[in-house]
Amino acid sequence: MLDLRGELGTVEAVGKYRIVLPLGQGGTADVYLAVADGPSGFTKLVVVKVLRKSLASDNEFRLMFVSEARLAARLHHPNIVQTNEVIEVDGAPVLVMEYLDGQPLSQVIVRGKQGGFTLAMQLRVIADALAGLHAAHELADFDGTPLGVVHRDVSPHNLFVTVEGHSKVLDFGIAKLERSLVETEVGTVKGKLRYMAPEQIAGDKLDRRADVYAAGVILWEALTGERMWKSLPEHEIRARVLAGDLPMPEIVRPDVPAALARIARRALARAPGDRYATARQLADDLEAAMAELRLEANQREIGAMIERLFEDVRAETKRTIETKLGRASMAKGLPAVSGTGETRVLPAVVRQRRMIAAGIAAAVLLLIGAVVARVASVATEANSATPAIAPPRHEVPVPAAPAAKPQTNLTATSPDATAKPDEIATAPVAPPRALRPTGGARTTAPAAAKRPQAVAAPPSSAPAIVPTVPPTVPPTVPPTVPPRTPAVDCAHPFFVDSDGIKRFRPECM
Predicted local distance difference test score (pLDDT) of residue 58: 75
pLDDT value of position 38: 72
Q: Mark whether 238 and 315 lie in a shared domain.
A: no
At 383, the amino acid letter reads N
Q: Which one is catalytic: 128, 153, 171, 285? A: 153
String of DSSP letters for 253-270: -TTS-HHHHHHHHHHT-S
Annotation marks residue 171 as catalytic: no
CB proximity list for 375: less than 8 A, separation 6 or greater: none
Q: Measure the CA–CA gap between 303 and 312, rounded to whole angstroms.
A: 15
Quote the CA–CA distance of 433 and 444 in Å, as a whole number: 7
Q: Check residue 175 and give its pLDDT.
A: 58
| Phi, psi torsion values for 98, nearest 5 degrees | -70, 150
Instruction: For residues 231 and 346, state if they share a domain.
Output: no
Same domain flag for 260 and 283: yes
d(CA 453, CA 470): 17
Rounded to 10°, the helix 299-309/105-112 angle is 70
* CATH code, domain carrying 112: 1.10.510.10
At CB < 8 A and 24+ separation, what contacts does 434-439 make? 434/390, 435/472
Query: In 376-499, at which residue ranges do the beta strands (DSSP E only) sit?
Result: 494-496
Phi-psi region of 115 (alpha: psi -120 to 50; beta: other; left: phi over 0): left
Residue 217 domain boundaries: 102-309
- Provide the number of structural domains found in the chain: 3
- Whether residues 119 and 57 share a domain: the answer is no
DSSP code of 142? Answer: T
Phi/psi class of residue 333: alpha, beta or left (left: φ > 0; alpha: ψ in -120 to 50)?
left
In whole angstroms, give the CA distance from residue 228 to residue 260.
16
Which residue stretches of the chain have pLDDT < 50? 1-9, 11, 178-189, 327-348, 386-392, 394-396, 398, 401, 404-427, 429-430, 432-462, 464, 466
Pair 19, 13: CB distance under 8 Å: yes
Query: Do 110 and 205 reside in the same domain of the chain?
Result: yes
Question: What pLDDT is stored for residue 187 in this prediction?
Answer: 42
> Which pLDDT value is given to residue 341?
44
